[in-house]
Chain A
Amino acid sequence: MTSLAHPVVAQKESLKPRTRSPFVKKFLANKGAVVGAAVLILFVLAALLAPWIAPHDPLKANFLAVRKAPSLIYWLGTDELGRDLFSRLLWGARSSLLAGGVSVAIAMVIGVPLGLLAGYFGGKLDAVISRIMEALLSCPFLVLAIALGAFLGPSLTNAMIAIGLSAMPIFARLTRGQVLAIRHEDYLEGARAIGLPDRWIILRYVLPNVLSPLVVQATLTIASAILAEASLSFLGLGQQPPSPSWGSMLNTAKNFMEQAPWMSIAPGVAIYITVLCFNLLGDGLRDALDPKS
């Protein structure tokens, strides 16, 4: 019954040298995860500071500098309307990172409560919710996102909603599985025996205990969401011109693969590295939170 006195809460990251928790130690030992996290922090900073560090206006077309190769003035070259690729890359980071974050937020805000309800209450509610989630998961993720995106109309916001809704079943199912795993734990039985209201139990005892795998999944899903946004933009359903996003930059770049290959390298590499880092980070979190190792 010791757990009742100390409900397990997801460890907060603490870098104080004296009381370094095992989580932080394990995480820092994983070189990949550290590198991933560092690069991501760098990218996020770059995105946030884009208005100040971008050397040129990402939206201003310059018809005299169309498709110029990388040079001292234009570090990564220019695109089909003469806009600086480096500046567009920085501003594009905002759209892509935002898309990743918001989609997953939407997915979690809807999916986690559904999973909690299904796992905790079981019975008919569980049957209904599980059926719906299973139905949604039978549709290929990208197809679902495309259909939703077409329905909502092409825009970055709608792409985020579409991706979020498509990813929601993943979180619902994961949360439900986690809740089922701990449903019969002693401290929960005890809480129920005392007569604590369900809502209290779910929020104070169940949720914190299922958080860790959710955090890992969230990181990994952000990676998929960024790829999905790039895919939707590639098909013309995401960020609309003239605002830059890495996916839409690749969409236009593919028409100039021979004349201006630099147009496709930068955004492609950017997507690749960002997604890779999120995956490394997710991996690191999973390993660090894993009680077995």
Chain B
Amino acid sequence: MLTFILRRLLSAIPTLILVSLFVFTLQKLLPGDPVQAMAGEERDPAVMEYLREKYRLNDPLPLQYVHWVGNVLQGDFGTSLRTEQPVTVLLASKLPVTIELAVLALIIALVIGIPTGVISAVRKGTSVDYAANVFALSGISIPHFWLGILLIMIFAVKLQWLPASGFVPLGEDLGQNLKTLILPAFVLGAGLSGVLMRHTRSAMLEVLRADYVRTARAKGLFPRTVILKHALRNALMPIVTLTTLLFGELLGGAVLTEQVFSIPGFGKMIVDAVFNRDYAVVQGVVLCVAIGFLLLNLLADVLYRLINPRLRTA
């Protein structure tokens, strides 16, 4: 197992290098001078030149890249061009937010998705199955930002049950914190529940067809026992790995939901940084998300091997 993990970690390095190169080049190709955006309405040429020198924007591109990578390896992700806060500080302050949102969304998705998937598989072909499928697909098909705005209108403005936007940190006030995250978590979770439901359903169907299930049934065990004890446990394997992967996607993907609900997470930070041409932030965040994604992929693979003893050959 250990060698497996090490091997995977090593092979992740060239991928990370590629990601960093790619993000770096893309940022530099964006039209629009960040220095100009920074220099504001007054546009003093002396100031702009000073800023270019300060952020080494006059250096040839390869040199800028090397300089950036060198800093990253020392733990310095640069500073936000807009507010001069270190990118690491930004990442550290936003990561818990995005993680909490991702966890809540995942919980909602699991709570809705798995039972629906199980019921759907057991009642395959009936109208229940059909309805559940449409429901799941709806979750995937609805535009997040639209659903978000509709929910704000209903729950925040009309009913006044929940705050319309903003965020209260976990440490400050748990109750308020959950209230601010419930709607965005629901929007994200609803979409994910569809994916989870369908995967649960197909995993369950696979398992239900298997021989050992038929054996259990033949032995006379109650259907429910069969389902819960045997089928579900084995169906959980791909679900676990899928969940890990989804978590990784959530880390960087809640872009529009965070925008609509003003949740200060990674997604919002990236979008703002792209529009403000805040290079350091975009590079830092994408690199961070890529690392997270690769690590989670590795975790999914490890879990897969752990849960399924048949694969433990490495």
Question: Which A residues are closer than 8 A to B by beta carbons?
Answer: 31-32, 131-132, 134-143, 146-148, 150-151, 153, 223, 227, 230-231, 234-235, 247, 250, 254, 257-258, 261, 264, 268, 271-273, 275-276, 279-280, 283
Contacts and interface: CB of A to CB of B under 8 A. Distances in A.
Contacts of A247: 143
Contacts of B255: 140, 142-143, 146, 231
Chain A contact residues: helix, strand, loop or mixed: helix
B289 A140 contact: yes
11 contacts: A131-B15, A132-B18, A135-B290, A136-B22, A137-B293, A138-B293, A143-B253, A143-B267, A147-B27, A230-B143, A272-B141
B252 A272 contact: no
A284 to B, nearest CB: 11
Interface residues of B, number: 46
Given A140-B252, A146-B274, A272-B138, A153 B31 contact: yes
Contacts of A279: 137, 140-141
Given A32-B134, A271-B146, A234 B141 contact: no
Given A134-B15, A150-B274, A276-B137, A140 B253 contact: yes
Nearest to A132: B18
Contacts of A254: 145, 149
Interface of B: 14-16, 18-19, 22-23, 26-27, 29-31, 130, 133-134, 137-138, 140-146, 149-150, 153, 157, 249, 251-253, 255-256, 259, 267, 270-271, 274-275, 282, 286, 289-290, 293-294
Nearest to B142: A272
Contacts of B134: 32, 276, 280
Contact of A231 (B138, B256, B275): B256
Among A137, A143, A271, A276, max chain B CB count under 10 A is at: A143
Given A143-B255, A146-B271, A150-B275, A250 B294 contact: no
A97 to B, nearest CB: 15
B137 A280 contact: yes
B31 A151 contact: yes
Contacts of A138: 15, 19, 289-290, 293-294
